[in-house]
Structure 1
Amino acid sequence: MNWKFWQKNKAAKPQKKKSKTREWVDAILFAVIAATIIRVFFIEAYTIPTASMEKSLLIGDFLFVSKVNYGPRIPMTPVAFPFAHHTMPLTGTKAYWEGVQWKYRRLPGFSDIKNNDVVVFNYPQGDTVALEAQDTDYYRLVRGLGWKYVNSSYTIISRPVDKRENYIKRCIGIAGDVISMKNGLVYVNGKAEKLKNTGQITYEVVFKTNEVNFSVFEDMGFNVSEDIKMDPNSSVYSFNGTEEMMAEVKKLDFVQSVKESVQTPGVPEGDVFPFDKNRKWNADNFGPIAIPKKGWTVQLDSVTMPLYERSIRIYEGNQVERSGTGWLINGKPATSYTFKMDYYWMMGDNRHNSLDSRYWGFVPEDHIVGKALFIWMSYDTNASFFSKIRWNRLLRGIK
């Protein structure tokens, strides 16, 4: 056949037109793929679900989280339903398939995590979940109710790293830092680090009179029903507010005294990391704790193992066993261990209303999702219809 004749006839032959259905399918498929690439490698929307970062971030704030600042994390569970994190919206079943698992890799980013960055990460203790009590940490349930009861009474599942719940906190300590807390004040490498101006803690307030107009506090920015509580056994009120707000409270002529409410040093709190009875630590007084750094070698003994055993066993995937007075790692006697990843210490700005590293320890680098950039929308569900949008928070950067 003449080649030129065949080419000419081929060009003249009309192309089969796509059906409307095919056009819609192609458009939707392209949009899903493009959105997934953007979400995984560039930027992702995130909603603030709890009050643990108030007043820095409020319930109903919608954020953009950058994946490129610290480097995009390659999906470790690549086969998953688009836009669903770990659970399908309607069926409640898994939104991912664990048949394919990739090891942790991260593309180069613009910077490393710095102290005081606001970071989104996967919840470290979310590896095991009791489905009927997902709002409660599985390990806390076990400490309170016992392993046998929890595992026989609840449906227990495991989740891969990138399918664990997303949390947002402030990075108080980076890999290699030594962190401690005394009377509610954080110390990093021996230097006191005051709470951010937008952060808040609990204060004890005593009034001179019982006749108090609480609308005064609403004008100062307090949510009276949530931020102010009265001790039924005394005349002391508990205020949750920023240092600036409490300075204004102190100026009121009907206020007798204002002081920070912190736990007493040496009085242990059972749910505080590392859950070691020999350490008399609580949420306001703990440490010092050295945060593991890649390449750092720690000696294994009764003092260090309560702090680092979970990181060595769960986060870095080793078999850890007690052998007499020593330890076996992957079946071999070990007196020391060298860490393979960097770790971080995360805390909420709402210090007395935050479940953070004080209660579950270190955040490994493979759990890091991204850096919180700015608020693109803020929505107050408790406000009236015409004032639900917090206009003053729109497009506000996160510090």
Structure 2
Amino acid sequence: MTLQAILGNFALILFVLTVATGIVWVLDIFYLAPQRRRRATLALADYDARQAKLRSEGIKVDQGERSRLEAELVRQPTWIEYSGSFFPVIALVFFLRSFLYEPFKIPSSSMVPTLEIGDLILVNKFTYGIRLPIINKKIIELNNPERGDVMVFKYPKDMSLDYIKRVIGVPGDKIEYKNKRLSINGKAVSYEQLPDYLDEEHLSYSKHYRERFEGSEHRILNDERAPSYVQNPDPFPGRENCTYNLEGFSCTVPAGQYFVMGDNRDNSLDSRYWGFVPDQNIVGKAFFIWMNLGNPGRIGGFE
């Protein structure tokens, strides 16, 4: 793993911080703190002996000095104090992000109109099974991705990158996308035309449809200027399961793999180009927009 990948892997950074602060926290409880207490006991015994001698000689002593001395002797060094304070917080954040919910930011327009650039989303990390953090190995089977789910996964060509797309095909499905119309296992998907979609950033319109197939209803965009065929698909693993022509393509999804596409169909690099998503690459299911700094009205669930 490169240095850039490590620095970009927040989960790894959190893991290292959790382990480091946890070691200091445990070390202090079971070793360093008892050592400080033993040293303090010896020092206070010596102090008490000196004070008793002074009192026997009729010299008045400061009764509060002993408490101040004890507090100073048992006080945690600053580096231990900060580590102990940060450990529970870091450990809680690491647990939440690793096993429950993780925030992501939408960086591109490939999922417009469902998700827009700048949307901050939450991803359910346990819907598709419990996975060990960092290595992303599934240890407890729960549910499998279903057609229509919006899924976050590790990009097969660069595992340091997180991608988000919609699941179109599950293992065994035959996916056809011809003339910008989708069929799944020989059954044509239904489309309801909506008013054209205005891209306010580029001041351009796209064809806007409501796409419906088993278990899913969501909106998609088509750019009439873009060709129907897939331009320069990669030689990805399982490429022999796909055929491409001027009308589009067809693919049969291999076992343990998923076929994904962006809702902004003509502006999305997805399974049509770089192939299938292996189960071990799955991060979780996106389900909620918790903030968009440019448009707070987008907060909420999505299709």
RMSD: 3.2
- CA distance in 1 between counterparts of 2:110 and 2:257 reads 21
Distance 1:44 1:281 in 2: 39
Deviations, residues 38-59 of structure 1 (Å, cap 9, x unaligned): 2112111100000000010000
- Per-residue displacement from partner, 1:241-262 (whole Å, max 9, x unpaired)? 4237xxxxxxxxxxxxxx9556
The DSSP-based 3-state class of the residue aligned with 1:222 is: strand
User: How do residues 1-399 of structure 1 correspond to structure 2 at under 5 angstroms?
Assistant: 16-75=74-133, 77=135, 105-108=137-140, 110-126=142-158, 163-194=159-190, 222-228=198-204, 239-243=205-209, 260=224, 263=227, 269-271=231-233, 279-281=243-245, 285-287=248-250, 289-293=251-255, 342-379=256-293, 388=294, 390-394=295-299, 396-399=300-303
In structure 2, the partner of 1:337 is none
Contiguous gaps of at least 5 residues in structure 2: 1-37, 42-69, 211-222
Q: Which of the pair is proportionally richer in helix?
A: 2
TM-score normalised according to structure 1 size: 0.49
Change (3 A) 1:351 1:31: same
Name the CA distance, whole Å, in 2 between partners of 1:272 and 1:65: 28
**Conservation of the 8 A alpha-carbon contact between 1:196 and 1:349:** no
Unaligned stretches of 5+ residues in structure 1: 1-9, 78-103, 127-162, 199-216, 229-238, 245-258, 294-341, 380-387
Q: Could you tell me how far 1:21 is from its partner in structure 2?
A: 4.5
In the alignment, is the contact (CA less than 8 A) between 1:345 and 1:361 conserved in 2? Answer: yes
Counterpart for residue 250 of structure 1? none
Tell me the secondary structure at the aligned position of residue 76 of structure 2: coil
How many aligned positions are there? 220
Q: Which amino acid aligns with 2:296?
A: W
Shift of 1:343: 0.3
Whichever of the two has the greater Rg, that structure is: 2
How far did residue 105 of structure 1 move?
3.0
Q: Distance in 2 between matches of 1:107 and 1:269?
A: 38
Query: Partner letter of residue 165 of structure 2?
Result: K
CA–CA distance in 1 between the matches of 2:203 and 2:127? 35
Change (3 A) 1:180 1:397: same
Matches of 2:225 and 2:183, distance apart in 1: 18
**Partner secondary structure for residue 125 of structure 1:** coil
TM-score after normalising by structure 2: 0.63
Q: Deviations over 1:326-346 (max 9, x none)?
A: xxxxxxxxxxxxxxxx10001
Report the Cα offset of residue 222 of structure 1: 1.6
CA contact (8 A) 2:197 2:206 kept: no
C-alpha displacement of 1:30: 2.6
Residues in 2 aligned to 1:38 and 1:196: alpha-carbon distance in whole angstroms = 39
Q: What SS does structure 1 have at the residue aligned with 2:266? A: coil
Contact kept in structure 1, 2:154 and 2:281, CA below 8 Å: yes
Counterparts in 2 of 1:280 and 1:367: CA distance versus 1, 3 Å: closer
Question: Following the alignment from structure 2 to structure 1, what is the Cα–Cα distance between the partners of residues 193 and 288?
Answer: 18
Give the AA of the match of 2:269: L
Equivalent-residue separation in structure 2 for 1:197 and 1:75 (angstroms): 42
Asked if the contact 1:40–1:72 (Cα under 8 Å) also holds between the matched residues in 2, the reply is no
Q: In structure 2, do the counterparts of structure 1 residues 38 and 280 end up closer, same or farther at CA, with 3 Å as the change threshold?
A: closer
C-alpha contact 1:42 1:68 (8 A) present in aligned 2: yes
Sequence identity (%): 32
User: In the alignment, is the contact (CA less than 8 A) between 1:195 and 1:349 conserved in 2?
Assistant: no
Q: Please list the CA deviations of residues 130-179 of structure 1 after superposition, one character each: whole Å capped at 9, or x if unmatched.
A: xxxxxxxxxxxxxxxxxxxxxxxxxxxxxxxxx42000000000111111
